[in-house]
């Protein structure tokens, strides 16, 4: 079931399915809730699953508030209240959504029973930026700002094969919605702001307090598989391995957030574990359902 839920005088797009303990999924940047179709269907057999689009994404209205992890945390807190969900939830966050999960768990520890971080951004992402090159984020922000002023069809012509995941196993409806999601100009405006705020968000998380000592599962990509993907896209093997080494260090360091943590490597998967290996996420989340 898809709804528009009003919070702070603007609408947030939400998908809710299943019954039982509540699992809330936070997709990453430029990632539609429909990319989680297989994961959601697998989890909804045993639990209630909520997925929502951040401000500016999908049908969620952009609003005036500065876009950062704190604004997403506030939106999620208000959303759960509006949905009359007051018991602790299992949080699942991918990439930037994983950074938001970390912020939410620290800010509202009594609201979280367990967390699953899937290829989650780290509060030390500046180390990755140093490996890639200092101009990478600046280039992305400039490009997204430009795309935010384009018409959807113009954006569609700009999308590369890396921008649109392999949707072979997805329903026709999901494929269509994902494409519409990818060509929304407001999303690129929101992402540009989120990227500009990335270090401020990381700093806010670092000073917000300690991560609660809850069951924590950290899922990371297959390093060899990832290096092959990067080199197939034209990157030198030396740079690909350098980037991957830093990424793996940042991912495994997240195990230190909780004393009750475990690591799962998603074999034969790149960054998009929810698409490459949805079974791993399903099994990891089901294992922490009480």
Q: Per-domain residue ranges for the chain? A: 2-286
User: Confidence class of residue 134 from pLDDT cuts 50, 70 and 90?
Assistant: low
Query: pLDDT digit string (tens) for 100-124?
Result: 999 999 999 999 999 999 999 999 9
Query: pLDDT digit string (tens) for 63-74?
Result: 999 999 999 999
Q: What is the pLDDT, as a whole number, of residue 128? A: 83
230-263: string of b/e by CB count within 10 Å (b at 16+)?
Answer: beeeebeeeebbebbebbeebbeebbebbeebee
Q: What is the pLDDT, as a whole number, of residue 164? A: 73
Query: pLDDT digit string (tens) for 16-72?
Result: 999 999 999 999 999 999 999 999 999 999 999 999 999 999 999 999 999 999 999
Mean pLDDT of the chain: 94
Helical packing angle, 198-208 and 185-196, nearest 10°: 60
Q: What is the pLDDT, as a whole number, of residue 132? A: 82
Is the separation of the CB atoms in 7 and 75 below 8 Å?
Answer: yes
Is the separation of the CB atoms in 103 and 208 below 8 Å?
Answer: yes
Question: Residue 2: beta bridge partners?
Answer: 15
Higher confidence at residue 210 or residue 129? 210
What pTM value is reported for the model? 0.95
- Average pLDDT score over residue span 8-14: 94
Query: Where does the chain show beta strands of DSSP type E?
Result: 2-7, 10-17, 22-26, 48-52, 89-94, 112-118, 216-221, 261-266
The answer regarding whether domain 2-286 maps to CATH 3.40.50.1820 reads: yes
Residues 6 or more apart whose Cβ sits within 8 Å of residue 185: 147, 148, 149, 150, 151, 152, 155
């Amino acid at each position: 079931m898809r709804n528009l839920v009003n919070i702070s005088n603007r609408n947030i797009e939400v998908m809710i399915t299943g019954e039982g303990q509540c699992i809330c999924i936070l997709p990453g940047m430029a990632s539609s809730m429909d990319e989680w179709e297989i994961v959601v269907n697998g989890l909804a057999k045993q639990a209630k699953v909520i997925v929502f689009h951040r401000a500016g994404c999908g049908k969620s209205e952009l609003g005036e508030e500065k876009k950062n992890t704190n604004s997403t945390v506030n939106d999620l807190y208000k959303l759960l209240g509006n949905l009359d969900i007051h018991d602790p939830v299992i949080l699942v966050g991918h990439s930037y959504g994983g950074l938001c999960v970390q912020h939410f768990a620290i800010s509202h520890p009594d609201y979280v029973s367990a967390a699953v971080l899937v290829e989650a951004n780290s509060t030390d992402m500046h180390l990755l930026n140093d490996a890639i090159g200092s101009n990478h984020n600046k280039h992305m922000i400039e490009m997204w700002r430009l795309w935010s002023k384009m018409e959807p069809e113009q954006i569609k012509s700009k999308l590369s094969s890396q921008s649109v995941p392999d949707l072979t196993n997805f329903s026709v409806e999901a494929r269509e919605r994902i494409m519409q999601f990818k060509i929304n100009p407001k999303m690129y405006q929101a992402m540009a702001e989120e990227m500009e705020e990335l270090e401020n968000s990381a700093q806010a998380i670092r000073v917000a307090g300690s991560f609660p000592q809850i069951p924590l599962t950290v899922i990371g990509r297959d390093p060899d598989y990832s290096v092959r993907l990067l080199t197939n896209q034209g990157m030198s093997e030396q740079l690909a391995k350098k980037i991957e080494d830093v990424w793996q260090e940042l991912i495994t360091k997240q195990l230190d957030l909780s004393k009750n943590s475990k690591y799962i490597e998603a074999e034969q998967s790149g960054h998009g574990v929810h698409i490459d290996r949805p079974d791993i996420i399903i099994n990891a989340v089901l294992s922490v359902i009480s």
